[in-house]
Chains A and B, each alone.
Chain A
Amino acid sequence: MGQRILVADDEEGIVLLLKDYFELQGYEVITAGGGMEALDRIRCGPDMIILDINMPDLDGLSVCRKIREKVSCPILFLTARVEEQDRITGLIMGGDDYIVKPFSIEELGARVMAHLRREERGRHSGAVRTEGDLTIYYQERISYSVRLSPGRADPHRV
């Protein structure tokens, strides 16, 4: 897939785990061991950021607050805290998703994929227009007209 993911967590074990897993999935992984390092690595232009909330130097929520204006990629929080308020705060701060430790790595992988897919869709969002029977695909320069007759549905290429 070739997309770039930034992983920031003060726990070395978790960083390694995520790096190994996502590299096996075909992503490029950049790592950061703390909030300050994460701010530094943002310059690489990741397509997705996975941030731990409890980092000693600069916590995940503060990092998110600082970068939210500058980056538009999805931000997913990792945390061991289960309180609802923290989930809410994380999402209000600009996070796009939240996963609680201990999590299933497959679930995390699926969520990351879903967020990246959505970003892709977003990029192509202006490319299709539908009006009544007529659907136009701008990128492919094709339009389709669907006329329904009783008992049959026939798309016609126009």
Chain B
Amino acid sequence: MFELNRRRVLRGVLNGGAVTVGLPLLNVFLNGNGNALADGKPMPVRFGTWFWGLGMSKSIFVPKTTGANYEITEEMEALRDVKKHFNVLTNLIAYRDGAFFCHYTGWVVARAGASPVLNNQAPGETVDVTIANQIGRSTRFKSLTATATGDVRSVVSYENATTPNPSEASPLNFYTRLFGPDFQDPNAPSFTPSPRVMVRKSALSAVSDQIQELNKKVGAEDKIRLDQYFTGLRHLEQQFDQQLTKPEPLAACHPAKAPKEDAKLGNLAELVQIRHNMMTDLLVMAVACDQTRVFNMAFSNASSNTTKPGYDKPHHTCTHEEPRDENLGYQPNASWYVRRSFESLAYFIGAFAKVKEGDGSLIDNVLIQANTDVSNARVHSLEEMPAFTAGRAGGKVKTGLHIDGKGGQITRMSYTAMKVMGLDINSWGTKSNQASKEISEMLV
């Protein structure tokens, strides 16, 4: 039986030279992709993470009551306008289970499910990677990772123990990667597949065979690295396929123009926020244009080096050296920094809420989890950890709640996210951090 598949169609198209392909032909390409953006089908649910460093000030952060009618607290004030879009989680624990790395263990437990045994080496892949392997394979980018720190060395995502996913740190570079010459505007009136892309793909297959020879020369650990390379090649081929395919129109997709100039370097909170917002705008549009379904954004590193104008201590140093103000009951400058982080979180959530998608907005079709490295940064405590989730995950998740974790594992948050994103697992994490119960309060 004759089967009309993507490869066969393209071969036909390209042998005939470059032709403009009309729309009706293209629906056939979308089969099998899980791409269900048209014809009133449900929008895909996307997953993202957001990171901020150095916890919070318990006395002015933790809401007094739980559930939907909690009062926004002083430190969370910036989040007031987007309250209906997120949940705040408090009183969660990351278990050390042995070694302890002051600003590393906490966030790695939350994202990788186990306590790291080496500093700067994750115990395994992070939750975004696990989810991207499930839902991110059909898009142009399996996932996107961006940071507001301006430093490409910032890490919040691990492909495996020794392979961090590199962070986009420059808005200009990020723009070019997303919306530069290789971007296919799904709403463009016509579509011309490039014959050069076709031959490029063919040439790539000529070198991918070379992996076999290399494999014979290396040990088990390096075989894994060659295998990663091979996976990367497959992904490149997939990107070429997508460039040869007319994308389905997306009403929500309106890429902005390239930034006129790159964001200024610098650690001043204001500069970090500007970079954060530029990166966020790009990321949100990449999601709206279905370039990726998994994304990570970091406001700062765990040992945040954000600075405050006229104050000589960067955030991290401040948390350790600033005395607690007896009248206020917290460290005022440390809290100043945390509030700047939450202003950016509010921007992040708001940016998804602003983009109309289907009957609602993008925030209805995402699940974002936000976490940090410690609860009380001054003493690196991993008890009473705060976290947030944002978005309704296509109607599967409730928002607007304060959920008291009651001293439960912080890994339950990622476990819940994985279940919501459709992973068939019964537990996640290791030792004391092994979670097998969802956070039921947030599930519809």
| Chain A bound to chain B | no
User: Which residues of A come within 8 Å of B, CB atoms?
Assistant: none
